[in-house]
Structure 1
Amino acid sequence: MGAPEFDLQHVTVHGHRRAFVSVGSGPTLLLLHGLGCDHTTWYPVIRELSRRYRVIAPDLLGHGRSDKPRADYSLGGYANGMRDLLTVLGIDRATVVGHSFGGGVAMQFGYQFPERTERLVLVAPGGVGPEVTPAIRAITTPGFDQLMRLLTLPGARHLGVAGMRALHRTGLPATRDLAEAAAIFDSWQDHRVRAAVRHLTRAVVDWRGQVVTMSDRAYLTEAMPLCVVWGEQDHVLPAHQARNVAALAPQARVEVFPNAGHFPHKDHPQRFVKVLKDFLRSTEPSVYDRDRMRRLLAEGAPAVVRQAEAGDAPVAPVQQLSGA
C-alpha cells in the first residue's frame, strides 16, 4: 500500500469548483481530510478500500485543488457542501470517514443528514475534548496572518519545511507528524489557504481549546454505527480523548493504535484498512427512523452521558491493537 496517483476530477457546486477522487464501485465511503490537508492524506488506503467500495475523497473547499473563495467555512457549511457533492454525483447514502477537522465535519454531516449517513468513522477527530495543540490555538490569535506572510516567504518557508522534515527523520515520537505539518505549512504560502484555515479554525477553537463538542449530541449515535480510531502518540489531539468517546457513546467501537500519531491511517494503513473493513462487515447501515430520532431528542442525553460531560462518570477502557 504505497502512495499511488489517482485521477483528480472536478465538479462545480454553487459556483465553486470542487476537486475529488472517485475510485472503485460498491457501497460509498466518503473520506474527509483534516485541517490544511487534502485528499492525498488517504492515498495509503484508497487503493485497498476501492477493491470493495466506491471511495470518494474530496478536497474540502479552501483546500488542495478545490476553490478557495470567501465563503462559509463552518462545520455546517462543509456538511452542506458534502451533501451537495454526493447529490451531484448521484449518491444517496454513504459511510462517512473523517480525520481530525474532517471528523468534526463527518459528525456534523451525520447530525444534519442522518437519512444519508450509513455509518460514521472518526479518525483522531476534533470535537471530542477541549485539548488541542497550541499550534492550532495560535491560528485564532490576532496577527496570525501577518506572521505567516513573513514565515512563508520563499527563504523562510524553505528553511522551515526542511527543518520540520529533518526533525521527522529522527524518528522520535514527538516528531512523528512533522512531515505532514511541513506539507501543511508549505501550503500556507497561498493567502487564500491561510484565510480559509483561519476562518474554519476560529469557528471551532478559541484560546482555551476546542469550542465545538460532540458531548451534547453523542447520545444520538445510538441510532448510527460509530467507529473511532486514534493514534496513541497523537500530539495534536491527545489520544486520551478516545476515553470520552467510550463514555459518551458506549456502543461505539474505539481503537487506539500503538506507535501511531495524529495520522494513524498513514502510520499503519494496512491495520487501518483491516479495522475499517471489519467495522463495515460487522455493522448494518443505519436506517433513518424519524420516530426513533424524535424519541431520542425528546428524552435527551441519558444520565451517564451528562455525568461524562461533567467529568463525573467512569470512563470505559479503549481497545488497543497489538503490534508495532
Structure 2
Amino acid sequence: MVEENFIKVDGNKIRYLESGNSKETLVLIHGLGASAERWDQVIPMFSKNYRVIVPDLIGFGYSDKPLVDYTPEFFSDFLGKFFDTIGIEMASLIGSSLGGQITAEYASAHPEHLEKLILVSPAGVMKQSTPALDAYIMAALYPNEQSAKNAFEMMEGSGEEVDQKIVTGFLERMQLPNAKLAFMSTILGLKNAEVITKKLTSIEIPTLIIWGSDDPVIPITNADEFVSSIKDCRFYRMDRCGHTPYVQDPVHFSSIVLDFLANNRV
C-alpha cells in the first residue's frame, strides 16, 4: 500500500507518498521537473524493509510552488524542515540528479540526522549543459507530447520507447500554476551555484554513488569528483542504463541499494 499525504512546511502544502511500517526510514528525493512517481517501481521493493517517504519537492509535482529563488541551499533547508515537520529524526537518503545534489548538500550540513547516503547520477559538479538536458529543459518550457517523448528517450539513452505514463505525468505537472517558473528558477539556481566539491569533503557517513554507464544528461565522467571527494564512498556503475537506472532496471537497482543499506557493500 502506498499512501498519499499532505503536510504544511512554512505554510506551503507539500505532497508525499509513504509506504511500509519499519522503524527504519528511507527517504527518496526526485530530480528536476519530476515528482514522487518517478520512484514508483522501487517503492514496493524498499517498503518491505523500510518505512519509505517520497516527497514532491517544493516547486515540483503536486506540492506548492511559491515564488522564491530555488537554489540548492533553499532545497536543502526545505528538506530539513520537511524532516522536522514529519518527525523524521534519523533516515537514509537516496537522491537522483538534482535530488542527489540536494541530499549531498543536506548531508554535508546535517550528518547527525542521516545513517547512509545514496546519490544517483547527482548534479553539482557539471557546469556545462548536454544535448539531453537541453531537450528536457525545452520540453518543460514548451510541453507537448512529442517534445516530452523525445526528451525522455534521450535521457534514457537506450533507444527504447518510454512508458507513456511518464510522458503524460510530466505534461500534466508542467501545466500546473507556477510550474515553469519554479523549473526555470531551479535551473538558474543551479547555474549560479558553486560546484559542490568542497561540501562533499565534509560528508563522512557511508555513501554509495550509482551512475548509469550511458547517462547522456550528466555523463558518468562526472562521477570521479564525487567518489574522490567523499571520505567513505563506494561506486557502482549500472551498465546499459541512462539517467534513471531505478526506472530502467528497478530490480537490479533495488538489490544494490538494499545490500549497501544492510551490509555496507555493493
Question: What's the TM-score once normalised by structure 1's chain length?
Answer: 0.72
SS of residue in 2 equivalent to 1:205: helix
Call closer, same or farther: CA 1:19–1:233 in 2, change over 3 Å: same
Q: What residue is the counterpart of 2:88 in the other structure? A: 91
> Cα distance, 1:228 vs. partner?
0.5
1:214-271 superposed Cα distances (whole Å, 9 cap, x missing partner) = 32232222x2111010101111000121222233236411111011010011111111
Q: What residue is the counterpart of 1:291 in the other structure? A: none
Out of 186, 196, 211, the residue aligned to residue 214 of structure 1 is: 196
Question: Counterpart of 2:251 in structure 1: which amino acid?
Answer: Q
Aligned length: 263
Q: What residue is the counterpart of 1:173 in the other structure? A: 158
> Cα distance, 1:194 vs. partner?
0.5
Q: Is the 8 A contact 2:157 2:214 kept in 1?
A: no
Q: Is the 8 A contact 2:121 2:211 kept in 1?
A: yes
Q: Report the Cα distance in structure 1 between the residues aligned to 2:253 and 2:2, rounded to whole angstroms.
A: 20
2:18 counterpart of 1:13: no
Q: What residue is the counterpart of 2:74 in the other structure? A: 77
Greater relative CO, 1 or 2 (CA 8 Å, sep 6+): 2
Aligned pairs for 1:14-33 within 5 A: 14-24=10-20, 25-33=22-30
SS of residue in 2 equivalent to 1:236: coil
> Cα distance, 1:70 vs. partner?
1.0
Question: Counterpart of 1:92 in structure 2: which amino acid?
Answer: E
Q: What residue is the counterpart of 2:222 in the other structure? A: 241
Name structure 1 gaps, 5 residues minimum. Answer: 285-318, 320-324
Question: What's the TM-score once normalised by structure 2's chain length?
Answer: 0.86
SS of residue in 1 equivalent to 2:93: strand
Q: Report the Cα distance in structure 2 between the residues aligned to 1:116 and 1:134, rounded to whole angstroms.
A: 37
Q: What residue is the counterpart of 1:132 in the other structure? A: 129
Q: Is the 8 A contact 2:201 2:231 kept in 1?
A: no
SS of residue in 2 equivalent to 1:44: coil
2:185 counterpart of 1:199: yes
Q: Is the 8 A contact 1:174 1:235 kept in 2?
A: no
Aligned pairs for 1:219-230 within 5 A: 219-221=201-203, 223-230=204-211
1:155-212 superposed Cα distances (whole Å, 9 cap, x missing partner) = xx24434x539x949x973567796577535532335111001111101126xxxx54
Choose 1 or 2 for highest CA Rg. Answer: 1
Name structure 2 gaps, 5 residues minimum. Answer: none
Question: Counterpart of 1:192 in structure 2: which amino acid?
Answer: N
Q: Is the 8 A contact 1:177 1:261 kept in 2?
A: no
More displaced 10-residue stretch of structure 1: 212-221 or 59-68: 212-221
1:41-97 superposed Cα distances (whole Å, 9 cap, x missing partner) = 111111111111111000001111111121342222212222122212221111111
SS of residue in 2 equivalent to 1:256: strand
Call closer, same or farther: CA 1:172–1:125 in 2, change over 3 Å: closer
RMSD: 3.1
Work out the percentage of aligned pairs sharing the same amino acid: 26
SS of residue in 2 equivalent to 1:102: helix
2:39 counterpart of 1:42: yes
1:275-318 superposed Cα distances (whole Å, 9 cap, x missing partner) = 1111111249xxxxxxxxxxxxxxxxxxxxxxxxxxxxxxxxxx
SS of residue in 2 equivalent to 1:242: helix
